[in-house]
Amino acid sequence: MRLDSSSFTFEGGNVGCLLIHGFRGSPQEMRGLGELLAEKGFTVVGVRLAGHGDNQEVSKTTWRDWVASAKEGLQELEGRCRRVFVVGLSVGGLIALYLAMQHHIEGTVIMSTPISLKSWQVHLISILKYLMPWLFCVVSIVELMRYVRENLSRVRVPVLVVQGVKDRHVPPGHAQYIHDHVGSKDKELVWFPNSGHAITLDGERELVWATVYDFIVSRGSA
């Protein structure tokens, strides 16, 4: 049975939460968290990034297309809410950081987010992209990583960085780097010892959701 990959919206109060899934993922990665936040009174939008979901036409898109999808969700919340928080998983976390640099938001949560690739990985991708078209998107992700990494000091809003210790895709050092280099003075780094990359779906998911909720409610009550 195929999971619904549609975007979702939950009506709530005047504090909004934009949820951004990861690369080659879908809004379902964020739905459980979204349902919890909605139960607590927040207005929630879980966007589907361009090229993602059932059709998986991701190879025809770039990071700018994904950011455009996230901006649509942000604008929807800005029209309904006084304050908006942005929560991103993996590459969705890169997009969340980008939005924090470009727009007025109240805070952001970054989960399982990569900030760089090793030089040999970039070189390998540059070769394999001709055999595997979707790898062109990975080249685009590298561009987004570079931009975000070079501009982390511009992130001035409260930041929560969440990382699973058992993440096989993103080394723990990436979370530490983001935490250490964002420009915000209000920042936290929380580790989950038994979680992997898909931290919103893994065994500690309910604790992850609660941690995200606590961060948001402490900086803008519903």
Report whether 7 contacts 53 (CB < 8 A). Answer: no
Q: Is 197 a catalytic residue?
A: yes
Choice among 26, 69, 90, 112 that is catalytic:
90
Q: Catalytic pick from 167, 174, 179, 184?
A: 167
State yes or no: is 52 an active-site residue.
Answer: no
Selecting among 21, 52, 179, 197, the annotated active-site residue is: 197
Q: Is 104 a catalytic residue?
A: no
User: Do the Cβ atoms of 159 and 187 come closer than 8 Å?
Assistant: yes
* Active-site residue list: 90, 167, 197
